[in-house]
Structure 1
């Protein structure tokens, strides 16, 4: 079973991302979509800390214990615009039904949920794809999650690269991004700056702050890029049909617009990092494995 052609491998190396339409069958895609929608329906707001997920590439970012302790759990993170602003006398309240308030669900779907385990860790196609890429000797799977992009309130994801948030030394992150519904410019499809993975440097990383919460920390010895990536020419949108898998190099710059449509844009995504010798994933990273649940090996 061969998945990638030589032309696709060349495109991956040149562009830093690769769109694979029809990677998942219609039946498998529907199974994942049904499960994602059921998880949204099952969400109960009672007792939830109202943790929102902010997508700024720098500055304020989520960092409470609910977020930081999510490696071995399935947790819900809310869309900021789904809540009314809190005041000293009035707590924040949901402005939409709970099932429509969710930004993402994660970060241990692949290990803990039988449907997403089936289509990730138990998928022979995913294993074969990772082997054909040849980027990892011993890939570890982490940060598996559903991202919802709710109708009319799904927020913008600014220009960023994934190695900033899943830092290894040297950088090794690769994302697998699966469309569970059709992704269009109106409901928040991805955009990429092709070839930027060859030029961008992971000069800062998203870490646990010493006093609690999270922050961005400079990577020693790496000078930051002066380029304003978001303003550079050559960006390409990547609209795709449900069942498409998009491979994302950890250093390629990408983004997505807000969902201004009346249609949701549910996707499932997980990342791989090198788990073999010579690559360091340290205790500073915001997402940490536990003794009972280390990052699972794909092969």
Structure 2
């Protein structure tokens, strides 16, 4: 661990009040450079031969044995072929970079500052790391991400998802900086979850009826432009979104999530651990309570 405080009591309180927290300068310059360089190397190494040339879906992305690449909607012409170089067509790559690549692993699982932050935040007792990816937000075509919360897609009982979102480049209103609905985690319950369907594929399962009074407007959202190296903590229940990248610049970000090992994570969830690659404990101590596992994929 580190020998200094990362979160003041005031910052901790702000996270629990707003449902997110922006921490500038969390990544060092050498870490930013290493993550950017490795991301670009992986893009260069990615071959289109044999790739289905499809956009992001969760039907195949639960495979954690390999780094997978997913393409932007607008990267295709009317003929179904890519209309730009592959390095400007990929929407994201994931979903187990923290396990499959040593550079991402060092920032995620072998990072004393991150471990210290998690201890100070007190959100988890025995956290597990899952779903790590780089989101590229390509120039002019980087798609809009509509209003959502992360616990819908990484559902546990009780809800325990927490997002870690690292800006690897400057994030601006033009290239798709994140926007949040402050406090929405306190008044918007999780009403649905994203699951593997019995008949195959994925879809939403209702948990409760949405509250008709729990509405929001764009003016309620707060956009959070930030510099490279910034860490944004994202409560699993807080509503957030990002707009389309209309700029000529990329907006690289590295993100992963944690859940509580003592919470139930069952076989319905679209992303599943495997015997070869279980979800990764952040700390070396064993989880406090065993999880229910799911089928291998």
TM-score, structure 1 length as denominator?
A: 0.91
Q: Deviations over 1:92-141 (max 9, x none)?
A: 21111111110000000001101000000000111111111111111000
What is the distance in 2 between the residues matched to 1:161 and 1:199?
12
Query: 1:181 & 1:252 partners in 2: Cα distance?
Result: 24
**Match in the other structure for 1:56:** none
Do the aligned residues in 2 keep the contact of 1:144 with 1:268 (CA within 8 Å)? Answer: yes
In the alignment, does 2:76 pair up with 1:79? no
Give the match for residue 252 of structure 1. 238
Q: Paired residue for 1:139?
A: 127
Partner of residue 182, structure 1: 170
Tell me which moved more, 237-246 or 207-216: 207-216
Of 282, 286, 292, 2:266 maps to 282
CA, structure 1 residues 134+196, in 2 after alignment: closer, same or farther (shift >3 Å)? same
Number of matched pairs: 280
Partner of 1:269: 255
Alpha-carbon contact 1:159-1:230 (below 8 Å) kept:
no
Q: Distance in 2 between matches of 1:193 and 1:67?
A: 28
- How far apart are residue 233 of structure 1 and its match? 4.2
User: Secondary structure at 2:48's aligned position in 1?
Assistant: coil
2:96 is equivalent to residue 108 of structure 1: yes
Report the alpha carbon displacement of residue 30 of structure 1 after superposing the two structures with TM: 1.2
Show the counterpart of 1:58: none
Query: 1:241 and 1:229 mapped to 2: Cα distance?
Result: 31
The 4+ residue runs of structure 1 with deviation greater than 6 A are: none
Alignment partners' CA distance in 1, 2:219 and 2:245: 23
The CA deviation at 1:256 is: 0.2
Give the C-alpha shift of residue 51 in structure 1.
Answer: 2.5
Q: Which segments of 5 or more consecutive residues in structure 2 lack a partner in the other structure?
A: 284-297
Choose from 279, 282, 293 the match for 1:295. Answer: 279
Task: Extract unaligned runs of 5+ from structure 1.
Answer: 54-61
1:96 aligns with 2:87: no
Q: How many Å separate the matches in 2 of 1:82 and 1:225?
A: 37
TM-aligned CA deviation for residue 43 of structure 1: 1.6
2:113 maps to 125
Give the distance between the partners of 2:131 and 2:216, measured in 1 at CA: 25
Judge conservation of contact 2:188–2:214 (CA < 8 Å) in 1. no
In 2, Cα distance between the equivalents of 1:8 and 1:145?
26
2:254 and 2:93 map into 1 onto residues whose CA distance is 9
Counterpart among 62, 66, 83 of residue 68 in structure 1: 62
Matching residue within 197, 201, 204 for 1:213: 201
1:75 is displaced (CA, Å) by 0.5
Q: Per-residue displacement from partner, 1:194-242 (whole Å, max 9, x unpaired)?
A: 00000111110011111111100012xx332324644264310000000
Separation of aligned partners in 1, 2:40 and 2:216: 33
Specify whether residues 24 and 233 from structure 1 end up closer, same or farther in structure 2 by C-alpha distance, changes over 3 A only.
same
- The CA RMSD measured in Å over matched residues stands at 1.3
The residue number in structure 1 matching 2:15 is 12
Q: 1:145, 1:270 within 8 Å by CA — same for their partners in 2? A: yes
TM-score (norm 2): 0.91
CA positional deviation for 1:80: 1.2
